[in-house]
Amino acid sequence: MSQPFTAIATLTAKPGQQDVLEQALRALVEPSRAEPGCGQYDLHRDLADQQVFYVIEQWASDEILEAHNASAHFQKFQASAGHTIEHFQLKRLGKIA
């Protein structure tokens, strides 16, 4: 099993889709926080660019994140809001201090 890590997901909404994407992302927060192995799941919006959202996550392992990605609420998000995303990037960070 892998070690705990922090992930930062950056999502940029397609023009005019930021409100739809925000609502879909908001719906992910509570069920994701309730998942075993989730230490943090916080949604942020870029103050300089309202099209850009950040999700700061902490997961106990790669396997736990894979389970999150397979969860019903995440699959619903992808099906309902995937078309609103212009760009997606996931950075995985290992804590060193």
Return the SS3 of 19.
Answer: helix
Q: Enumerate residue ranges in the chain where pLDDT < 70.
A: 1
- Extended beta strands in the chain, E state: 5-13, 38-45, 52-59, 85-93
CA–CA distance, 37 with 59 (Å, rounded to integer): 6
pLDDT of residue 1: 57
For residue 55, what are the β-bridge partners?
Answer: 9, 43
Q: How do 38-45 and 5-13 pair as beta strands?
A: unpaired
User: pLDDT tens across 58-76, in order?
Assistant: 999 999 999 999 999 999 9
CA–CA distance, 81 with 96 (Å, rounded to integer): 34
Return the SS3 of 58.
Answer: strand
pLDDT of residue 2: 80
